[in-house]
Structure 1
Amino acid sequence: MRNGSPRARILGLLLAAFAVLLGATGCAGPGYDRTQQYFIAGGGIAGIYFNYGDQYAQALHRELGISVSVSETNGSVDNLQRVASGRALLGFAQADTAADAITGTGSFDTPLPLRAVARVYDESVQVVVPADSDVREISDLAGRTVSLGSATSGVQVIASRVLAASGVAPDRIENPALGLDESIAALRRGEIAAFFWVGGFPTPSIERLARTQRIRLLPIDAATVSRVNARHSGVYRLTEFPVGTYGSETPTTTMTVPNYLVAAEDAPEALITDATRTLFASRATIARKVPAAELLDRRDAIFTAPLELHPGAAKYYVDARS
């Protein structure tokens, strides 16, 4: 990236603004309690959230000497609620669900006091059907049994939006609300026609499914992505699964959403600074077990709109820039 590029100039301006903010509010906190038990809100044990959180918790214990463990949860909505209520120090969430959380819309009755630590990686919407299914596009799912993800998950939020943008009303889908492992098992047994998943790809559990059963991914086209963006937070982008993904013979277009690591607004500043530093310092170690961690990039990590950065995280980025 050239120093004179537009993205570099934006990055410099943002970091300068963070520096002013930190100077105005003061960045020297009272420290934090190293005897406390901390939690990271992950997701289902088959997903990247949980495994990323588990490896990150181990890194925090090694580097900071604090007791940290990952919690199995139902996904983004659950994670954000846990972080906001203090039941978790940190949590993973999709950007669209986080946007709903801070405005008190969608699955949230009131705004939640949340801040971003980093944009960690982007996730892809994966709609899986058996290879011999007569379902060829999203609109074909009407009138069928489809798992839209577990209750209070970000998958449920995104799946509902994709269906609506494809002209499929919620009452035209029978949704058993299964987690990823349960969805895979139900597809094997022929109990569901398809399932939605939102995560890094390839997702290990779906890869294992593809080794024993031929599957396909349904396309989500540019027009559908545009309709979802027009109705919601505008954070979605178009991408493509390459040839070979889960045994595919052709590329498949789909929708992506950024994924954030979040903290409560009142989380200890010094702890969040150290946690952010550890996140980046341990990237290579975590990536040995969770390849998605390799996508963490300090230049992109600060782009967490509409969430503001936590002051502790902002301090790390300013210090790292100097």
Structure 2
Amino acid sequence: MTARRSARPISRRTAARALAGLAGAAALLGAVGCASGSYQGARRELAIAAGEPGGFYLTFADMFAARVNAVEPQLHAVAVPTQGSLANLELLRGGEVDLALVLTDVAKLARQDAALVGGAVPLAALGRVYQNYTQLVVPADHRAEELADLRGGTLSLGAPGAGVTVVGERLLRVAGLTEDALTVRRLPLAAAGEQLRAGGIDGLLWSGGIPTPALDRIAERQRVRLLPLAALLPRLRALHGAVYEEVSVPAGTYGLPGETPTVGVANLLVCSPSLPDDVADAIVRVLVSEAARLLPPEALGTQYLDLRSLIGTQVPLHPGAVAAYRRLHG
């Protein structure tokens, strides 16, 4: 990561002030013709693999697609609901989508010959867009105070195609929870919420922006707590590097009285290396020029939508993205 931003949660007012600093870049984009669309090629559809309803992946992808369509007349983008990062990589590998939102740890695995993602997936980054917060949710009256206390219980590690599976399995390992120490289920977020309420599971693990709308709805139906995970970070980083960092879910999120220190993983917008340079260039221009319109209304967490932070992908940038960032940086 060549340019690191603080992972401390920020308010929408602070985010708005930071994003206002992009005015100069937006003016530069206008000067080179972005207002009428920087992409001048043949009309092209762009499918963006996103995530589950109720999560930030899909919210962000919908917002981003809308901005692409507004400023690039020759491009037509649409967000595709999925189960998350692993599913998105499969779609990208098969050529069924053009862009995908993927957790950084999953993206790095994908570039290797990793069995978890079915072998190596060629991909390139277009930008780092926001922070994902690993959120371990339990009923408010549950006895557990940390992950290890779930020994003997049942935990949902997310949908089968969810990227939280990667950090989840790593967390279980460093917490000393072997396969026979607890029952692991793989449930979509909505189903996990219902099982949590019914007592079918002791906890659910989710990685997303804060507050995640679906978790807000779960918290409206029953009182919940978040278990802290940051104490496991040194062991995670020793094994897997700086892809993980300490972040805090702020007080007030899901009605909680205090902040919860946990593990953060940056979220990337990625594509196939075969994506044409001029398309990658246009995508980067939209990320920069429309940053202020890509902040979900409920967002409290860290955003990376500025020139310094967008490039901190830990995965090689697409050549078209590199050229765009260099021009925009001046």
TM-score range, shorter chain: 0.7 to 0.9
Distance across 2 between alignment mates of 1:167 and 1:185: 28
Residue 178 (structure 1) aligned with residue 187 (structure 2):
yes
Residues 172, 256 of structure 1: alpha-carbon distance in 2 compared, 3 angstrom cutoff: same
Distance across 1 between alignment mates of 2:41 and 2:198: 50
What is the aligned partner in structure 1 of residue 312 from structure 2?
A: 303
What is the aligned partner in structure 2 of residue 187 from structure 1?
A: 196
Deviation at 1:175, TM superposition (A): 2.3
What is the aligned partner in structure 2 of residue 140 from structure 1?
A: 149
Q: TM-score, normalised by structure 2?
A: 0.83
Compute the RMSD of aligned alpha carbons: 2.0
What is the aligned partner in structure 1 of residue 65 from structure 2?
A: 57
Please give the residue correspondences for 1:145-156 in structure 2 after superposition, counting only pairs within 5 Å: 145-156=154-165
Residue 101 (structure 1) aligned with residue 110 (structure 2):
yes
Distance across 2 between alignment mates of 1:108 and 1:205: 26
Residues 173, 126 of structure 1: alpha-carbon distance in 2 compared, 3 angstrom cutoff: same
Paired residues of 1:99 and 1:233 also in contact (CA < 8 A): no
What is the aligned partner in structure 2 of residue 131 from structure 1?
A: 140
Distance across 2 between alignment mates of 1:218 and 1:293: 20
Q: Which 5+ residue runs of structure 1 have no aligned equivalent?
A: 1-5, 9-29
Paired residues of 2:133 and 2:263 also in contact (CA < 8 A): yes
Matched residue type, 2:98: L
SS of 1:122's equivalent in the other structure is strand
Deviation at 1:243, TM superposition (A): 2.3
Distance across 2 between alignment mates of 1:288 and 1:192: 30
**Count, aligned residues:** 293
Deviation at 1:7, TM superposition (A): 5.7
Paired residues of 1:284 and 1:294 also in contact (CA < 8 A): no
SS of 1:43's equivalent in the other structure is coil
Q: Deviations over 1:63-87 (max 9, x none)?
A: 2122221111111111122223321
What is the aligned partner in structure 2 of residue 26 from structure 1?
A: none
Q: Deviations over 1:110-141 (max 9, x none)?
A: 22110000011111110000110111110111
Q: TM-score, normalised by structure 1?
A: 0.85
Residues 293, 280 of structure 1: alpha-carbon distance in 2 compared, 3 angstrom cutoff: farther
Deviation at 1:32, TM superposition (A): 4.1
Residue 207 (structure 1) aligned with residue 223 (structure 2):
no
What is the aligned partner in structure 2 of residue 321 from structure 1?
A: 329
SS of 1:104's equivalent in the other structure is coil
Paired residues of 1:287 and 1:293 also in contact (CA < 8 A): no
SS of 1:169's equivalent in the other structure is coil
What is the aligned partner in structure 1 of residue 56 from structure 2?
A: 48
Distance across 1 between alignment mates of 2:290 and 2:230: 36
Paired residues of 1:84 and 1:263 also in contact (CA < 8 A): no
SS of 1:287's equivalent in the other structure is coil
Distance across 1 between alignment mates of 2:302 and 2:154: 34
What is the aligned partner in structure 2 of residue 114 from structure 1?
A: 123
Residues 289, 221 of structure 1: alpha-carbon distance in 2 compared, 3 angstrom cutoff: closer
Q: Deviations over 1:130-170 (max 9, x none)?
A: 11011111011122111100002111111111111101013
Residue of 201, 205, 226 corresponding to 2:234: 226
Distance across 2 between alignment mates of 1:107 and 1:233: 18
Matched residue type, 1:41: A
What is the aligned partner in structure 2 of residue 283 from structure 1?
A: 291
Residue 198 (structure 1) aligned with residue 211 (structure 2):
no
SS of 2:62's equivalent in the other structure is helix
Deviation at 1:31, TM superposition (A): 6.2
Deviation at 1:296, TM superposition (A): 1.5
Q: Report which stretch shifted further, 119-128 or 280-289.
A: 280-289
Deviation at 1:215, TM superposition (A): 0.7
Give me the identity figure in percent.
33
Residues 102, 226 of structure 1: alpha-carbon distance in 2 compared, 3 angstrom cutoff: same
What is the aligned partner in structure 2 of residue 39 from structure 1?
A: 47
Deviation at 1:171, TM superposition (A): 3.2
Deviation at 1:186, TM superposition (A): 1.3
Deviation at 1:289, TM superposition (A): 4.4
Residues 77, 243 of structure 1: alpha-carbon distance in 2 compared, 3 angstrom cutoff: same
What is the aligned partner in structure 1 of residue 225 from structure 2?
A: 216
SS of 1:123's equivalent in the other structure is strand
What is the aligned partner in structure 1 of residue 15 from structure 2?
A: none
Distance across 2 between alignment mates of 1:303 and 1:189: 41
Q: Deviations over 1:233-261 (max 9, x none)?
A: 43101122222222222332111011110
Matched residue type, 2:136: V
Residue 274 (structure 1) aligned with residue 285 (structure 2):
no
Distance across 2 between alignment mates of 1:64 and 1:139: 50
Q: Deviations over 1:82-111 (max 9, x none)?
A: 223321111101100001000122513422
Distance across 2 between alignment mates of 1:76 and 1:290: 22
Q: Deviations over 1:150-206 (max 9, x none)?
A: 002111111111111101013333222111111111111211110000011111121
